[in-house]
Amino acid sequence: MRILVVEDERKVASFIKNGLEEERYIVETASDGKTGLEMAMNNQFDAILLDVMLPGMDGFKVLNELRNAGISTPIMMLTARGTTEDRVQGLDLGADDYLPKPFSFEELAARLRSILRRSSTEKSTKLKCGDLVLDTISHVAYRFGKEIELTTKEYALLEYLIRNKNRILSRSTITQHVWKHNFDPESNIIDVYIKRLRAKIEREDGTKPLIQSIRGVGYRMRDLPQDDESTVDI
């Protein structure tokens, strides 16, 4: 999941970035409101952490511009000003949550998981697709009654696919949400990672795969009913 952090205090920004990267998020940062707004307008993020007091354009203004532009990405406001009026203003402008400074990283991470759940069809910390379960806290997958260890990138890719299950995802959409930098659309890096992921999570008994290739487009993770082969005819 790709997160934008808009925060002008360098120490706070790097504290958040380092922590989130350890939690396997892809993190980009902006140190003023205008840059943050531009980045949020021109890229796809899964959530935005937005400081209120920012040089140039403040967080409320950035929030307002984003919501007016129809961008519904979950946004959590961060601020030293924890007054009721501030919270009300942020929430009225369309923020999804409000975290007063100082905060612990654990609380920030838990609240971030919470706003990501609200925007997802999956409401649990355990994501499911058929008989595959992905634990978003321990970052371990379970299938066939056993634990499947995933690398950082495999986890990020699988989490994104499951959160968007039953939707066809183009390679460029997957790239935007799972990789930090866009790369040559001709690159086969996504196919390479899908192959590795399939080797770990798919059954080898001939049943249809959970990750389906869509020719010329990308991939789709399908939520197949367990042990029901009558529906797996594509």
Q: Where does this chain bind Ca ion (CB under 5 A)?
A: 8, 51, 53
Between 55 and 225, whose beta carbon lies closer to Ca ion?
55
Distance, in Å, from the CA atom of 197 to the CA atom of 187, rounded to the nearest integer, reads 18
227-232: long-range contacts (C-beta < 8 A, 24 or more apart)? 232/207, 232/208
**DSSP state letter for 48:** E
Between 37 and 141, whose beta carbon lies closer to Ca ion?
37
Q: How far is the CB of 116 from Ca ion (least distance, A)?
A: 23
Between 34 and 117, whose beta carbon lies closer to Ca ion?
34
State how far the alpha carbon of 232 is from the alpha carbons of 3, 209, 229, in Å.
Answer: 35, 9, 5
- Residue 17 · residue 29 · CB < 8 Å: yes
Closest-by-Cβ residue to Ca ion is 53
Between 8 and 65, whose beta carbon lies closer to Ca ion?
8
Q: How far is the CB of 79 from Ca ion (least distance, A)?
A: 8
- Residue 54 · residue 33 · CB < 8 Å: yes
Q: How far is the CB of 69 from Ca ion (least distance, A)?
A: 23
- Residue 116 · residue 139 · CB < 8 Å: no
Distance, in Å, from the CA atom of 170 to the CA atom of 94, rounded to the nearest integer, reads 29
Residues contacting residue 176 through CB under 8 Å, at least 6 positions apart: 2, 43, 44, 182
Between 7 and 97, whose beta carbon lies closer to Ca ion?
7
